[in-house]
Amino acid sequence: MKRTILFFMVISIIFTTSCGANTATVNNIEQEQFTYETNEIYSASGSKGVSSVAMGKNGELAVYNYYEKKIYIFDKDGTKVGETEVGEDWEGLLAFDNDNKLYVLLQHREKNEKNENVLLKRQLQIYDNQGNAVETQSGISEIKGESRYLTDETVERIEVDNHGNIYCLKVSQEVEVLDNKLKNIAMLQGKKFLDIALDEEDNLIGLCYDNGSQVYIEKVSGKDHKSIWKKEYGSDEEPKAIFYNKSTKTLYGFNEKGIFKYDDKGNIKGYIADAAQLSGLDNIYRFIVDEGEKIYIFGKDGSQSRLLTYIKTEKKEQEETEKKEIRLYSYYPNDDHIHQSMINVIRKFEQKYPDIKIKFEAHDNLQQINTELLTGKGPDILCGKYPAMGYITKGVFLDLNQMINEDSEFNREDYNEAVIEGSKYGDALYIMPITYIKQFYIGNKKLLEDNKIEVDIEWTWRDLYEIMEKVKSKGIYAAPIYPEEYILSRLVKDGLDYYIDWEKKEARFDFKEFRETLRLLKNIKSGNFEHPEAEPYPRNGRNMELLLNNTLFYPDFHSGKYESVYIHSPYSDNIILLPRPKPEYGDTKAFIAYNAGINSKSKYKDEAWEFIKFLLRDDIQSYIGEKDIPVNKRAGEKVLENQLERMRKYGFDADANLQAFKDINSSLNKNEALEVPDELFNTIWEEIKTYLSGNKSEDEVVKVMQNKVELYLNE
């Protein structure tokens, strides 16, 4: 039954600077404010309750429910006008053709007892636009091959041209064109497609990326597959999905900032909606825009799959009651996703607490934040990835234990206690981790086993050096080439708390342990640590051969997703999952968190604490922790289970390193926000580099570091 949810939103056609937008990329038109009436057209339990949606030429919507194996048809007002059972226990993809016939591509992967793909089956069914009758049904096509190949051949999205041919976007990010008998007509290779659309002349519009991860949209001729135009986008403009409306001949894009439309050469003309205001869904999977720019979005909301429509209406004047205004700054450079997620969460919070208004500002200027906070001003809440030691030692932040001890609703056992304990300074908790990520080392399992090397999650940098020595004569290296600040600097930084006493303002660098650390660093750097020819990318040709045959470990970029480790791995899924080596002294196992701290001078401390608790709720954590690791245990289990489901779907051995992933996360003990601030570490590292280059002796470097660090501590 259709259920209507009314709420009012203010949308700005031009985004404000505080929301991290670059207004130079869109037309400089006047700001227009309006509201949305949001209607729920359909919902179902489970992540695949709505697994595919398509719009017909008259505005009707077709929805495929994977669990029920049914197609539901709704008119443009959201009234159900038809349904039909597909009859097969298969996944289905939907698309309408120009005659308004509904194409349903069914597919199913058969697996063996090892959960490996052994056969991919496909079948095409074509219905009228009421979903009443199958007009055409192809035979069942079967594709055989290795498990990973069959995963790559799985189709994720379809479009139908004027001749009834089906453009299939596959997991391999290639596009294959099939006729209605599922026979191959063409294969569009040489591009990596993220999304596709067809225009009224059967030209293919592809959202693609190149080997350097440059995102672009390209229109390709449907006749000879030659490029018509191509437009590249910066990271702040790149779309995550596209939709083409043939009636209005308009291309739309969607990303974390909103939904926008393009001109006929791929230039952004303007935004039609702010994603932050499209409330009602935790994750958006697909969007559709009709002739009147009514927006349809389907995605996930908790455990529900939902299809919603957003109808623009004129803004109604509303009486504003006096509200408590909380200022919130979010500092996380180069990550618009978390800022947009926070805006969505703030909307939900304000609906629950109508007497509280949160003024949100995204910042990338840490110096400005420091100036405000250290002069007794600044926000009520500071969220983000920032060095916290200066705020803590100068009394800027409130000890959150005060709030926790007086709050009977807050149960520490609901959260990853290791991560919260690792965020304490002494016994005090000045920052609350909201989500977190860490760096993993991906081990080349085959090469490690071939050389009889055993390693576990408690390994140290000393262990890594001994492994290097064992394989040195065989032309095997520890890792590909990385900037030294990215990898080797962690050998020093992770262990600095062992040598610095912040309370007593003392440094202990002129000790045996630190001298041993310096010598170990020099031995690793001058040894077979980095392969001189192997790069982290590309993953093909000679470079791939070097990665597979001559490197033991692949340090990934900081990751929260278990599945990302497998995606980043050059060793396929034949891996051993490890944390970054820990220092020989100090036992630090660091993580990066999106933290929240309360200004000790805030007059709304209780309200600020309510918002931090809201951020830690199960449903909110499942949403904002989708790309990272939630601190909330139940949300973390749910996010991980969703990842495991996707991994198994795509043929990965999801269980092989699962326990290691869990053990690593439960062993973390140091929030990087509490490590040595960058400005101090940069001073330390510059001195160490003079030792590594041979320009200064060990004694000289140790004495200079001792003096500079103590001077810093006593400023």
Within 13 Å, how many C-alpha atoms sit on residue 709's CB side?
A: 28
Report percent pLDDT > 70 for the chain.
91
Instruction: State pLDDT tens for residues 467-487.
Output: 999 999 999 999 999 876 678
pLDDT above 70: residue 131: no
State which of 290, 314, 338 marks the end of a domain: 314
pLDDT at 134: 76
Q: Are residues 147 and 221 in the same domain?
A: yes
Does some domain include residue 176? yes
pLDDT of residue 12: 27
Report CA Rg, the chain: 28
In whole angstroms, give the CA distance from residue 365 to residue 340: 18
- CATH code where residue 330 lies: 3.40.190.10
Q: What is the residue-averaged pLDDT of the chain?
A: 88
Residues 295 and 370 in one domain: no
Torsion on CA atoms 481, 486, 488, 493, rounded to nearest 10: 180
In a domain, 498, yes or no: no
Give the type of residue at 677: P
Q: What is the pLDDT of residues 436-445, one digit of tens each?
A: 999 899 999 9
Mean local confidence (pLDDT), 570-586: 91
Alpha carbon distance, N-terminus to C-terminus of the chain: 67
190 and 253 share a domain?
yes
In tens, the pLDDT along 89-102 reads 799 999 999 999 99
- The reported pLDDT for the residue numbered 502 is 87
Q: What is the mean pLDDT of the segment spanning 52-64?
A: 93
Domain boundary, last residue among 252, 282, 314? 314
Q: How far apart are CA 156 and CA 51, in angstroms?
A: 10
Same domain, 126 and 222: yes
Q: Count up the domains in the chain and report the number.
A: 2
According to the model, what pLDDT value does residue 650 have?
78
Instruction: State pLDDT tens for residues 634-647.
Output: 999 999 998 998 88
Residues 69 and 167 in one domain: yes
74 and 115 co-located in one domain: yes
358 pLDDT band (50/70/90 cuts)? very high
Domain end (from 257, 280, 314): 314
Before 570, cis peptide (omega within 30)?
A: no
Q: Do 346 and 266 belong together in one domain?
A: no
In a domain, 671, yes or no: no
pLDDT value for 271: 83
Residue 699 burial (CB < 10 Å; 0-12/13-18/19+)? exposed
CATH number for position 38:
2.120.10.30
Residue 543 has pLDDT above 80, yes or no: yes
Is position 507 within any domain? no
Tell me what pLDDT residue 578 has. Answer: 95
Give 661-694 pLDDT, tens digit per residue: 999 999 999 999 999 988 899 999 999 999 999 9
pLDDT digits (tens, 9 = 90+) for 410-457: 999 999 999 999 999 999 999 999 999 998 999 999 999 999 999 999
**pLDDT tens figures, 6-22:** 222 222 222 222 333 33
Q: Which helix (H) or strand (E) element contains residue 555?
A: strand 553-555
pLDDT of residue 20: 33
> In what helix (H) or strand (E) does residue 646 lie, and over which residues does it extend?
helix 633-649
- Are residues 258 and 124 located together in one domain of the fold? yes
613 located within any domain: yes
The answer as to whether 528 is a domain residue is no
**Domain co-membership, 88 together with 179:** yes
Three-state secondary structure of 140-194: CEEECCCHHHHHHHCEEEEEECCCCCEEEEECCCCEEEECCCCCEEEEECCCEEE
Q: Which pLDDT band, with edges at 50, 70 and 90, does 314 fall under?
A: low
**pLDDT attached to residue 487:** 86
Residue 492 domain flag: no
Cβ-contact 563, 652 below 8 angstroms = yes
* pLDDT value of position 2: 31
Residues 190 and 67 in one domain: yes
Question: Does residue 144 share a domain with residue 238?
Answer: yes
335 and 288 fall within a common domain: no
Mean pLDDT score, 195-201: 96
> Which DSSP helix (H) or strand (E) runs through 610?
helix 605-615
Instruction: Compute φ and ψ for 87, nearest 5 degrees.
Output: 95, -10
Q: Does 705 fall in a domain?
A: no
Least confident of 112-121, 259-268, 481-490, 522-531: 481-490
Q: Residue 272's pLDDT is what?
A: 87
Domain that holds residue 387: 324-434+595-626
| Number of other residues whose CB lies within 10 A of the CB of residue 6 | 9
**Token pair belonging to 410:** 């807050």
